[in-house]
Homo-oligomer: A and B are copies of this chain.
Amino acid sequence: MGGTEPARPSGPLIVQKFGGSSLASVDHMRRVAARIAADRAAGRRLVVVVSAMGDTTDDLLALLRRLASRPSAREVDMLLSTGEQASAALLASALTAIGCPATSLTGWQAGITTDGVHRKASIRAVAAARISREVGAGRVVVVAGFQGLGPGGEITTLGRGGSDTTAVALAAALGADGCEIYSDVDGVYTADPRVVPEARRIPRISYEEMMEMARLGAQVLQIRAVECGLVHGVTIVARSTFAPGPGTEIAGVAAVEDRVVARGVAHDRDVAKLALCGVPDRPGVAHRLFAALADAQVNVDMIIQSQSRAGRNDIAFTVAGEDLERAEETARGAASDLQAESVLAEPGYGKVSLVGAGMASHPGVAAAMFAALAEAGINIEMISTSEIKISCLVRGDRLEQAVRAVHAKFRLEAGSA
Contacts and interface: CB of A to CB of B under 8 A. Distances in A.
Interface of A: 26, 29-30, 33, 60, 63-64, 66-72, 74-76, 78-79, 81-83, 85-86, 88-90, 92-94, 96-97, 103-104, 106, 109, 130, 153, 155
A26 B69 CA distance: 13
18 contacts: A26-B67, A29-B67, A30-B67, A33-B67, A68-B93, A68-B94, A68-B96, A72-B93, A72-B96, A75-B92, A75-B96, A75-B103, A78-B88, A79-B86, A79-B89, A82-B86, A109-B153, A130-B153
Q: How many copies does the complex hold?
A: 2
Contacts of A29: 67
A88 B75 CA distance: 9
Contacts of A130: 153
A85 B67 CA distance: 16
Contact of A67 (B60, B90, B106): B90
Given A82-B82, A85-B82, A75 B63 contact: no
A78 B67 contact: no
A52 to B, nearest CB: 10
B78 A64 contact: no
A89 B104 contact: no
Contact of A60 (B70, B75, B86, B153): B86
A261 B60 CA distance: 52
A109 B150 CA distance: 12
Contacts of A89: 64, 75-76, 78-79, 82
Contacts of A103: 74-75
